[in-house]
Amino acid sequence: MAERELIEYITSLTGRGGPPWLKVGIGDDAAVVRLPAGREVVVTTDMLIEGTHFKPGTPPEAIGWKAVARCLSDVAAMAAKPLCLVAAVSFGKGAERRFCRRLSRAIWQAARDLSAPLVGGDISSGTDVLTIAVTAFGTPGPRGVVTRSGAEPGDAICVTGALGGSLCGRHLTFRPRIREALNLASRFDLHAMIDISDGLSTDLLHIAEQSKTGVVLYADRIPVHPDAGRSGSKGALRDRALHHALNDGEDYELVFCLPPEQAEEAARSGSLDTCVTIIGKITRRRTYNIVMPDGSRHKLWSGGWEHLKRLK
The torsion of the CA quartet 259, 299, 252, 260, rounded to 10 degrees, works out to -10
Applying CB under 8 A, does 210 fall inside the site for a second copy? yes
- Confirm or reject binding of residue 55 to a second copy (CB under 8 A): no
Residue 195 is a binding residue for a second copy (CB under 8 A): yes
Does 47 bind a second copy (CB under 8 A)? Our answer is yes
Question: Which residue type occupies 269?
Answer: S
Residue 194 as a binder of a second copy (CB under 8 A): the answer is: yes
* 256: contact with a second copy by CB under 8 A: no
Q: Cα–Cα distance between 156 and 191 in angstroms, integer?
A: 10
**In degrees rounded to 5, what are phi and psi of residue 208?**
-60, -45
Burial 265-277 (b: 16+ CB within 10 A, else e): ebbeeebeebebb
User: Does residue 39 touch a second copy according to CB under 8 A?
Assistant: yes
Q: Are 127 and 160 in contact (CB under 8 A)?
A: no
Smallest gap from residue 96 Cβ to a second copy (A): 5
Pick from 26, 107, 110, 133 the residue near a second copy by CB under 8 A: 133
Binder of a second copy out of 10, 67, 82, 147 (CB under 8 A): 147
Within positions 149 to 178, which residues make up the interface with a second copy, using CB under 8 A?
Answer: 149
Q: Are 257 and 152 in contact (CB under 8 A)?
A: yes
C-alpha dist (Å) from residue 119 to 24, 39, 131, 138, 207: 8, 19, 19, 13, 32
Strand-pair category, 214-218 with 276-283: antiparallel
Q: Is 49 an interacting residue with respect to a second copy (CB under 8 A)?
A: yes
Give the one residue of 58, 115, 135, 231 binding a second copy; rule: CB under 8 A: 135
- Of the residues 9, 13, 18, 33, which one makes contact with a second copy according to CB under 8 A: 33
Q: Residues with Cβ < 8 Å from 129, sequence gap 6 or more? A: 49, 50, 51, 56, 92
The yes or no reply on residue 309 touching a second copy (CB under 8 A) is yes
Q: Of the two residues 136 and 224, which places its CB atom closer to a second copy in the complex?
A: 136
- What stretch of H or E contains 6? helix 3-14
Asked if 75 touches a second copy (CB under 8 A), the answer is yes
Q: Which is nearer to a second copy, 85 or 222 (CB)?
A: 85
By CB under 8 A, tell whether 37 contacts a second copy.
yes
Check binding of 311 to a second copy (CB under 8 A).
yes
CA distance 2 to 32: 25
Piece of 55-63, 137-145, 233-241, 272-280 that binds a second copy (CB under 8 A): 137-145
Q: Where are the beta strands (DSSP E) in 177-249?
A: 192-195, 214-218
Which of 196, 176, 206, 209 lies closest to 85 in space, CA to CA? 176
DSSP-derived secondary structure letter, 79: T
- Applying the rule CB under 8 A, the residues between 111 and 130 that interact with a second copy are 119-129
Max alpha carbon distance in the chain (Å)? 63
191 is an interface residue for a second copy by CB under 8 A? no
| Interface positions, 78-97, toward a second copy (CB under 8 A) | 78, 80, 84, 86-91, 95-97
299 touches a second copy by CB under 8 A: no
| 38 sits near a second copy (criterion: CB under 8 A) | yes
In the complex, least distance from residue 238 CB atom to a second copy, rounded to whole angstroms: 30
CB-based burial of residue 223 (10 Å sphere; 0-12 exposed, 13-18 middle, 19+ buried)? Answer: middle
| Residue 26 CB, nearest approach to a second copy (Å) | 11
Residue 292: CB minimum distance to a second copy, A? 26
Among 16, 268, 285, 307, binds a second copy (CB under 8 A): 307
